[in-house]
Amino acid sequence: MSSVILRNVYRAREHLGSSLFGVVAGVGVFVFFLALGAGLRGVIQGEVFPIERLEVVPAKGGLSSLGIMAPGSGQGRTIPEKKVRRVRKIKGVKEVYPRMRFGFPAKAWGGEGVFGQTMWTEVVADGIPAMLVREDLGEDSLFRDWSGKDSGKACSLDSDCPKSEYCGHGPRSRVCMHPVPFLVSRYLIELYNGTLVSAHNLPNLPDWALRKARGMRLHMDIGRSSLGDAPKGRPREVQIAFAGVSEQAIDIGITVPLAYVQRWNGEFVGPEASSGYSSLSVVVANKDEVTFVAEMLKRAGLVIRSKGEEQIGLMIMLFETTFIVISILILLISSLNISHAFFLLARDRRRELGIRRAVGATQADILGSFLLEGAAVGIVGGLFGVVLAVACSVLGNFLAASFLPDFPFKPDDFFHFSPVLILVSLVVGTFSCLVGAMFPAFRASREDPTRALM
């Protein structure tokens, strides 16, 4: 039966050729842009704005990204430990990462061995518990509170200290201590590689360079910067050591172990600045539970900080919807062409159909054969449409790699062809052809065999 259907389709290739082209174009557009939307959404929701991670801040006040660098800026509302424990008990919450921002001014400099010049910057920083990045960095991670392991040996020069320590400013005199470890985010690295490198003629930072830079030391003034001095405490210089890249690090700035921030906030701002958290990173166990967890967080008096992911997601959805509508219109036109082609086929095969009816074929047999031929056209057109979409995606990735400038989180592959998408595209192509063949098939099946043989 299948061979007969395919032979009939091949015989009708002149009538079905233009219609088949429409199916290929419609399915190709449908698959191409849905795959592009899925690829972009995977980058946005998987790397730039992980949908399972909610950034939570106090309902009012809080430490802003600008205010934290101003003297005395650590006086905003914070999230107490009691509320953190309450958040951990919410159904669907996998983990909670408490964060504490610097409540005092700071600046850092160094990096001659990596950048070829001394880099200066005001410091935006926060602290997280060291144990929360062990999975990212491994058990041998530098990222921990080293203060309890400092030798405390009196010194005048770094050479007076053990290899892993330096001669720093203690409470009363210079003593040997470990540098403070810090993390940076993948987002910051991507931003540097995609924007700052070309704008300031700086060297690129590939992954191997970041691994090699582990342990690199910079200098940081705590309690003072070009914006002013902290209201309390004794400003001083400390050394900080690069400990790696982590998804848990603050997007723009550096992240150090929480214990350091608590001590420094207490010293430079006051006890109240070290007793609460500026924000929480709430990790949801399942994407399907994000909405429920978000609602429970709001009921707990917390606010989910948006980074623009909702707006970007809406733009992608509008983008996909626009091209889905275009592909449906193409398929609708091809369906009309299929209908016209099958009317012509029914006319050309009128005598053949009459003979089949005369030798015992039923109306259902005639109807079924026409619909199977329409389905065959749809499947063939759908397959060619998928192949066309994949070929165009390869070309698109090549053009993007060749002509698009580097930007944060630029993917190697902008497209995601899932098995479900391919299956749906074949179903859509087949359905459009069945719709087009339905009315001509129905009329051909109702044809009087006596009149057809005259």
Domain boundary among 263, 282, 306: 306
Taking the model in full, what pTM does it have? 0.59
Three-class DSSP labels, 190-253: HHHHHHHHHHHCCCCCCHHHHHHCCCCEEEEEECEECCEECCCCCCEEEEEEEEEECCCCCCCC
Cβ 264 vs Cβ 221: under 8 Å: no
For residue 150, what is the DSSP state? -
Residue 435, amino acid: V
Instruction: Identify whether residues 371 and 406 lie together within a single domain.
Output: yes
DSSP 3-state assignment of 117?
A: coil
Cβ 26 vs Cβ 331: under 8 Å: yes
Instruction: Identify whether residues 330 and 222 lie together within a single domain.
Output: no
242 strand-pairing partners: 182
DSSP 3-state assignment of 67?
A: helix
CA atoms within 13 A on the CB side of 19: 34
Sheet holding 125-128, edge to edge: 119-122, 106-110, 217-222, 236-245, 180-184, 254-257, 125-128, 93-101, 279-284, 53-58, 302-304
Instruction: Identify whether residues 112 and 199 lie together within a single domain.
Output: yes
**Tokens representing 109?**
């400099």
**Tokens representing 439?**
């009315």
Instruction: Identify whether residues 147 and 279 lie together within a single domain.
Output: yes
> d(Cα 352, Cα 357) in Å, to the nearest integer?
9
> d(Cα 442, Cα 17) in Å, to the nearest integer?
22
Instruction: Identify whether residues 118 and 202 lie together within a single domain.
Output: yes
58 phi, psi to nearest 5 deg: -60, 155
Instruction: Identify whether residues 79 and 37 lie together within a single domain.
Output: no
First to last CA, the chain: 28
**Tokens representing 51?**
């949908």
Instruction: Identify whether residues 179 and 75 lie together within a single domain.
Output: yes
Domain boundary among 276, 306, 336: 306
Instruction: Identify whether residues 326 and 201 lie together within a single domain.
Output: no
**Looking at the 3D structure of the chain, how many domains does it have?**
2
Instruction: Identify whether residues 230 and 96 lie together within a single domain.
Output: yes
> d(Cα 100, Cα 91) in Å, to the nearest integer?
24
Nearest to 297 by CA among 50, 56, 53, 51: 56
DSSP 3-state assignment of 281?
A: strand
Instruction: Identify whether residues 22 and 147 lie together within a single domain.
Output: no
The residue segments making up the domain with residue 77 are 53-306
Instruction: Identify whether residues 67 and 100 lie together within a single domain.
Output: yes
pLDDT tens, residue order, the chain (454 aa): 455 555 555 555 555 666 678 788 888 888 998 888 888 767 765 555 555 678 888 876 444 433 433 333 344 578 888 899 899 999 989 888 889 999 899 999 998 777 777 888 899 999 998 887 877 776 667 899 998 899 989 999 999 999 899 999 876 789 999 999 999 988 888 888 877 777 677 778 888 888 888 889 999 999 998 888 898 888 999 999 999 988 888 888 999 999 999 999 999 988 888 888 988 888 888 776 777 888 888 888 888 875 555 556 567 677 778 878 887 888 788 788 878 777 777 777 777 767 776 777 777 877 888 788 788 888 888 899 999 999 999 999 898 888 876 655 667 788 989 899 899 888 988 888 888 888 887 887 776 655 655 5
- Residue 360: how many other CB atoms lie within 10 Å: 7
Domain boundary among 260, 287, 306: 306
Instruction: Identify whether residues 236 and 369 lie together within a single domain.
Output: no
